[in-house]
Structures are given as structure tokens and as C-alpha cells.
Structure 1
Amino acid sequence: MSSHTNVVTPRRITGVFPIARTGCRQDWSEVRRSLPCVSVVWFVRVRPLYRERVSHEVAVNLLEQTTQVLEWPRLLDALAGHARSTMGAAGCRALELANDLPDAQRRQQETTEMGQLQASGEAPPTLAFQDIRDPLARATKGAVLEVHELRDCAMVLELLEESSRFVERHRSDAPALVSAAYPLLSVGPLRSVKTALDAAIHPDGSIKESATPELRRLTHQVQGLKQQMRDQVNQMLHSRRYEEILQEQYFAQREGRYVIPVKADMRGRVQGIVHDVSASGATVFIEPRELVELNNSIKVVDLEIEREVRRILRELSACVAAQSETVMAGLHALAVLDGISARASFGRQLKAHPVSLNDQGRVRLRHARHPLLVLSKEQVVANDILLDESTQVLVISGPNTGGKTVTLKIVGLFALMVRAGLHLPCDAESEMAIFSDVYADIGDAQDLARDLSSFSAHMIQMIQLLDQTDRQRRNDRDGTPQQWLVLLDEPVTSTDPAEGAVLV
């Protein structure tokens, strides 16, 4: 522990907690001397005798309460900042927690392997890719994708190929990472789709004129017609007939047709079609009669080009739709890979290490530092936190601002981090337990809208916890003991000391 925090080792008394109706048997404690502190915080390991599926409403309330007071969303936001894609960042913010020890160990191994590859210069390709789930879904329903959407698909397919080679290259030295991104090993059938997209679309999102022979022919035809138009317009601009009529010697286009700028008071001297007027009203843009037929020819070929382009986009969209399941699986694998890469980069920023994991309740943290403090401060006071199988209640005492609440939050955050596959900012020789549930009652829970004082709000939260445990006992039949980590900051305070003492 830090030099500002005293740990009082309790004498264990095995008995039934006064609220025995919950079916919980726990180890309680009796302090050997008076506590030299202003406040007391607690680590309590509760072992429910039975476990059940609890109601959704209560479970969500307890989870939200715990994650908020531990600032878990803030930590996930910091993690998401290391992702390169929107899907990867969203996955970081919605990071699921492992349910058992093997799952947690697998996730930690993924992070470890990615960190080793990053350190050796063998990091995966840059995982900045577009979220193409919506275009894929529309293509599957028969929609014709726009050129830029197909361009995005082509870029994703290219990244899938590069990532597939990366995963294949590290089958032996990063097995957990390869297993997490296994759909990338099945992207071979997408090569023909990528070839078709690359043959038709420029990287800037425009259609190549070489996409089909017909498009090439039409493109050359319209280019020839436009050259004829430019030559004819230039002759008109420099002829004596238009010298006094023109506002300036240039030509423009309005609605895809070539026009010349004529002075407003001279428009009667030009036979043709008026397409526009300048903002000042001084210039009228007219398509002279001499240009109408050539403009019509250009318009007809432009329409034929547009039809050919739509036909090409329709064929390419159908090609993408035919492999949509493989593309979607690969897309999610890229997001998973991006999330693991973010976890490894985040661990490097925290100067974190992988630690030994157990499901026996042992917590042996050496030089543990609060991750959010590490992100915001250069110097952070580290703590040693020890909680073994024989210690069911750990009481921490000390003066105000001595670090008691921070220590509670460290343990709570670490309990969540190891289940999320994150490395811990502590010594590599540390060990952390996997707790199936974490509950934290920290800070002032006063809620005036619900007419709850600080004391009554804390009591209601504890009752919710006990009620959930009771529900678990009544419905679960496997009898497998599960461990909860309960973090209580200054329990039964904010009331008369004599009245509060009765509750403990």
C-alpha cells in the first residue's frame, strides 16, 4: 500500500452474515483495535451458495452503478482512442467481459501476442477502413451501389487480403491472435471481386473509361463531339458578328449544354435558347441556334454513357452481394483485430503488463497504479494490494485524501480490465482474480428526485445487491460457487454514528 494508507488485518470469524435470508455465507471480521481513521473502506468477497439468472432490470441497474462509479466508460473511451476504424472504436466502447477464467486468459493472450508483434515491427496493416455494412446490406437486397461505395468496398477487400497474409504469416507465433481473426483466412474467394472492382473504379472514386469496351467507345465519341463544340464556339467568340454582343470572350455550360455570355440589352440580336441570367442581370447565357444540334448530339452520348455506367455499377453491386457473407465476416474480423491492436497500444501507453489470472480469489498486485491517473499524471503513487483465499474481508483505514477510495477503484477497475483482455498497470509478477460479478458502492448516491438521502440511497443499493443474490439462490441448480467482488466506500455513514454502528 502507499505510505498514506494503513491496512488493518482482521481476525477472521466464520459465521453467518446477519442478513442470512439471502443464502450467503461469508467470512466476517473483527478489528483488533480502534481504527485510526476518519473513514473506512472495505473489500468484501461474497460467495453465494447458489447462483441464478437474475431479472434484467436489477442486473442492469447494478452494472450501470458499478461501471459509472469506477469510471469504466471513461477508460473505454481512452481505449477507443487507439482504434483506427469506427467499427474498432465502437467495439472498444462496448467491450464484452469474459465469463470465466479460460476466456479471460485467451483474451489476455491475444493482447500479449499483438503487443509482441507491435514491439518487433510486425504489426498488422493499418486498420483504418470504412464501415461498409450498410452498403453490403443494400447490395444484398438488390440495390445498386454508388461509385464511392464500391470504391470503399474495394479498399476493404484490399485490406482483407493484406490482413489475411499477416494472419497466415503468424499462425505459429500468435495462435490466439490468429484464432480471434480466423475469418481472414477464408477471404480467397474475394480476390475475383476485388479484381473486378479495381478494373472499373479509380482510387478517387471515379469510373475508369476502360471499365468496358462500350464505355471506352462512348467516352471517345463524346470527347470528339466536345472538341468539335469547342472549335465552333471559339470561332464564334472571335468573329466580328459577336464582337459587340458578348459580355466577355469565354464560353460556359448550363445544364450540360454549351452557352455564350451575351449582354442583356443585346440578347435580341442572338437567335437561340436562354438558359440562365447572371446575378446582376447584366449577362444572359444563350445557346445560339448554330450550337443546338451539336449540343443535342453530346447530350445523347452523355445519356448513353450514364446508362452504361449504371449497368456497370449494377453488375459490380451484384458481384459484391454474391460474396456479402464472406465480406461481412472479414469486416468483423478486421474490427476484432483493430480492437486487439488498440488493447495492446493502450497497454503500452499505461506501461502495463500481463499478469497471472486465477479463479480462487487471490489478488496480489505489486505497484498497482490507477489507469486513469496514469493517463493524466506523470507521477502516480503505486500501491501493493494483497488479498488471498483466507481473507474474505479487507478493511483499509487512513486519513482523508490518503488514497483509500483510489485503492478501491484500482481493484474494481483491474477486475474489469482482466475480463476485457486488458493488461494491468502493475508489476508483471502480480496476480489477479477473475470475479464473476463486481459491485461498487462508492461516493454519494443521494437522489433528490427519488427522495433519497445519502444514507438511504446506499442502503437501497445494498438491498438490491442482496436481493439479486437471493434470486440467484432460488433458481440456480448447478450449485457452482461463484465469487463477487464487493467494494464499499465508507459504508453506513452519512447518518448518526450510533445508529449506523448498529448496522455493522
Structure 2
Amino acid sequence: MQSETLQSESCNVLEWAKLLDHLASYAQSAIGAERCRSLVLEINLSQAQMRQQETSDMLRLRSGVDPFPVLRFPNVAEWLGRVAKGACLEAHELRDIALVLGLIDDVQRYLLRHQADAPAVGAMVVQLGPVEEYRRLTIALNAAIDPDGSMRESASPELHRLMQRANDLKRQMRHRLDQILHSRRYEEVLQEHYFAQREGRYVVPIKAEMQGRIPGIVHDVSSSGATVFLEPRELVDLNNSIKVVDLDVEREVRRILRELSAMVAPHQPALAGSVALLGELDAISAKAGLSQRLQAVPPRLNEQGRILLNRARHPFLVLTKEQVVPNDLVFDETVRVLIISGPNTGGKTVTLKLLGLFALMVRCGLHLPCAPESEMAIFPSVYADIGDAQDLARDLSSFSAHITQMVQLLKEVSEGTDVGTSPSPIHPGRALVLLDEPVTSTDPAEGAALASALLC
């Protein structure tokens, strides 16, 4: 079994995905939530410290008098992918891109104001892309498209002229229809006194048995068959004129959309990166939100295997219970093995899972629910064998499955195949191995002997 598989199974045992799902609930955008569910586990101390600093910066910004801009923005990845291939975007899609461009501008201005008091987050401002060019594009998009996603009449002089012509014709049509609805000639044949549209043409409801009395074109029939929707012959020319100008309006709108899409296309690569950064900032903001909820703190980090956790609480217990009994965990770099013993339901397994989760959390910038001045080591590899490992598909009993897991785990640790490193003996602090009731499900005396051999 490869290192990645063992560590993936360990993450499942520790319920890492469940914690990331909870983290994602604090994100304000779909892209931010996706980033939360796929956090990178750093293996380098300096990178892990940077992730912690980013969360601390965001926490400080969120609680300040000038809070971070709201990072609720539409996912425009699909729109950008299509426009890069030469597609013509719809008005509401261009509206979404304009909203994102406006947010990028707001975020840049904000980060420039707060670079001094939030250096880690503030440094990201250079990754936002060519914001000055974005501003010109934003002006062009907002000039043509309303916030509701419809095309502005003022988007072009030609569109304005055509819209005015269409409105004039429709006013004439409503006047003619008003005359028809109040005409003595139509008094007996009308089913009701209103007009409607069918296939873009104005019609009136006529009693089915009297449709022969009014010359015209039938466009529809009611579900009961009692009413036909008739376009009187006297309205045909005006309806034709309205149809022609509507088609002209549609052609002009498509021309403007093609022009605007062509303006967006050259910015697609940079804009895709800017949107990704917004998602990253949203994920950092989610980390800060979770930190507030857990009443967590940023621990000191080391890579010597030293752990000093004061009043540590399991994140899931903090999220679900009002009162949580904290635990202290202390061992320095000279300690290679720590045995936790005690009665059933005494919290041994919870403590193991807590330590495993903490080892993952500090690597991706999540603060720890413990007392200030706590310290946590960076473990590039985390292995956990917790719970019943019985595997019926491979015809393994609980004992056999545990032994198989132990052999694989010990082989992995002894070979030192860490992520991102070449095989070499693991020195203290490079791997964290969590074993819950090792070598159980067999004779107690034999199990004790095997456990002693395993730990020594």
C-alpha cells in the first residue's frame, strides 16, 4: 500500500473531510467553498507558518472597523472558458463578469489600505492581475448591461433608435387594440375584453363559434376549445412592422454582445487567475470564521516533533456541545512513543483523533481550539489506525486486518517515504503515527507481547 493511500485512509479515520465540509459552510462563494474542501496540506514549516499568518491577518481584518469586502461572487469559470473559445456570452453572463471585476477592484483598494496591518494577506494584492485594465472593461460592460442582466437601451445609438421605433409601434398597437376591445363590431364576438400575444404577435380572444365573423389569422386555441386567439386582418401590417423591428433589435443586441465578449476574451487568462485568488481569499476568510467559532488560536509551529497543547479541545465537540472538557498534551522532541491508558469512555480515542486533526489543521492554516502559547509540530506524514479494520472482502478478521495494517504502516514509516521527499530514514518529527488499541481482537497475553514489540 502506497503512502498516499495510507494517509488518505488516515484522513478518513480522523474525519478530515467532515471538518472541511464545516469549513466550507463559512465560505461566501462556490469557488471559496470548493477551495475549502481541497485545502493543500503543507509539508514545509515556513509555508505552514504563512498559512497560519494569513488566517490571523484575515481574523484581524474581519474584526476591524473596516471589514473585508463581502466575497460573495458568481462562479464565472464556465463563462470565461467559453469566451476563450470565441463564444458570444449572454447579457447576464457578462453582467456576472462585471460583478466579479468590480469586486476585484474593491479587494485591491482594500488590500492596499491594509498592507501594513495584514502583511500576509496584503501581499496577495499583486496576484489580482491588471486591475487598471479591468476597470476599463468594467466601465464598458456596465455601460451596456443593467444590474438585472438586461441590455441597456443606451448600449449603442442604433439600439436606442430601434428601441424607440419599437416602442412607438407598440403604442400604436395598444391604441388600435383598445379601439377593437371597445368597438361595437367586436362586442358580440369577444370572449373577454383583453388582448394577448402569441408567437410575438398581438391577438384578441374570440368565441370559437364566431371566428368566421372576423377575418384574420388564428394563432392559438384555448385548452377548452371555446376561445380562439385571432389576429384581426386590420392588425397584420402593424404586427409585421413590430416583428421586423424586434428582429432588428435582436440583431443589434447580438452584435453588442459579440463586441463585449471580444473585449473580455483577451483578459481571460489573467481574469481566471484573479477569480482563483478571490476564491483563495474567501477560503482564508472561512478559516477565520471557523477560528472565531472554535475560539481557536494560532499555535507556534516547529519541525522537531515538539508538542505543547494546553486546554486542547476536539473541534467537533466544540461545534456540537456547550461544555467540552479540555486536555493538555505535552511531549518534546526526545519522546518517540507516548502511551495513553485509562478506563473505557475516558476520552483516549478522542484525544488521539484530536491530535491527528491538529496535525492536519496546522498544515493548512487552521487555528487550533486550545489555549494561547500552545505549540504544535509539523508532521508531513500522519498515519492513524483507529477502529475496527475488519475486511470481509479480503477475508480478513479484525486481528488479521490490524496486523496487516501495522505491517504496512511500519514499513512505510521505516522507509520514510514522505510526500515530496525521496526515501530516507524518518527523523523525529517527520511522521505522526496514531494507534488505537493496537493488536486487540486476540489473546490478551499474545496481544500484549505483540504491542510491546510494536512500540519498542
Contact 1:343–1:422, Cα closer than 8 Å, also in 2: yes
**Separation (CA, whole Å) in 2 of partners of 1:305 and 1:473:** 66
Q: Deviations over 1:44-103 (max 9, x none)?
A: xxxxxxxxxxxxx62332122111111111111111111000000010011111111101
Flag the structure with more relative contact order, 1 or 2, with Cα contacts below 8 A and sequence separation at least 6.
1
Q: Which amino acid aligns with 1:499?
A: E
Contact 1:181–1:333, Cα closer than 8 Å, also in 2: no
Q: Does 1:488 align with 2:435?
A: yes
Which residue number in structure 1 is paired with residue 148 of structure 2? 204
Contact 2:128–2:277, Cα closer than 8 Å, also in 1: yes
Q: Which amino acid aligns with 1:334?
A: L
Q: Does 1:427 align with 2:334?
A: no
Q: Does 1:399 align with 2:343?
A: yes
Q: Deviations over 1:430-460 (max 9, x none)?
A: 1100011010101111122221211111111
Contact 2:381–2:431, Cα closer than 8 Å, also in 1: yes
Which residue number in structure 2 is paired with residue 349 of structure 1? 293
Q: Does 1:387 align with 2:387?
A: no
**Separation (CA, whole Å) in 2 of partners of 1:434 and 1:462:** 23
The residue correspondences of 1:313-392 to structure 2 (distance < 5 A) are 313-392=257-336
Contact 1:129–1:156, Cα closer than 8 Å, also in 2: yes
Q: Does 1:309 align with 2:309?
A: no
* SS of structure 2 residue aligned to 1:432: strand
Q: Deviations over 1:448-489 (max 9, x none)?
A: 222121111111112222333455479937778461000001
Paired residue for 1:446, among 390, 396, 400? 390
Residues paired across the two proteins, number: 448
The residue correspondences of 1:53-452 to structure 2 (distance < 5 A) are 58-184=2-128, 186-452=130-396
Q: Which amino acid aligns with 1:377?
A: K
* SS of structure 1 residue aligned to 2:323: coil
Q: Which amino acid aligns with 2:422?
A: D
Distance 1:309 1:277, change over 3 A: same
Distance 1:479 1:438, change over 3 A: closer
The CA RMSD over aligned residues, in Å, is 1.6
**Separation (CA, whole Å) in 1 of partners of 2:388 and 2:193:** 77
Q: Deviations over 1:16-39 (max 9, x none)?
A: xxxxxxxxxxxxxxxxxxxxxxxx
Distance 1:103 1:87, change over 3 A: same
Q: Deviations over 1:157-188 (max 9, x none)?
A: 11111001111111222111123453226422
Contact 1:167–1:184, Cα closer than 8 Å, also in 2: no
**Separation (CA, whole Å) in 2 of partners of 1:185 and 1:231:** 54
- Residue 499 of structure 1: how far off its partner (Å): 2.4
Which residue number in structure 2 is paired with residue 476 of structure 1? 422
Same amino acid, percent of matched pairs: 59
- Residue 145 of structure 1: how far off its partner (Å): 0.6
Larger CA deviation: 457-466 vs 174-183:
174-183
Task: Calculate the TM-score normalised by the size of structure 2.
Answer: 0.95
Task: Calculate the TM-score normalised by the size of structure 1.
Answer: 0.86
Return structure 1 stretches of 4+ with deviation > 6 angstroms: 477-480
Larger CA deviation: 87-96 vs 181-190:
181-190
**Separation (CA, whole Å) in 2 of partners of 1:473 and 1:438:** 12
Q: Deviations over 1:260-281 (max 9, x none)?
A: 1110000111111100001111
Contact 1:180–1:336, Cα closer than 8 Å, also in 2: no
Say which structure is richer in strand. 1
Contact 1:210–1:216, Cα closer than 8 Å, also in 2: yes
Larger CA deviation: 371-380 vs 231-240:
231-240
* SS of structure 1 residue aligned to 2:153: coil
Contact 1:181–1:336, Cα closer than 8 Å, also in 2: no
- Residue 498 of structure 1: how far off its partner (Å): 2.6
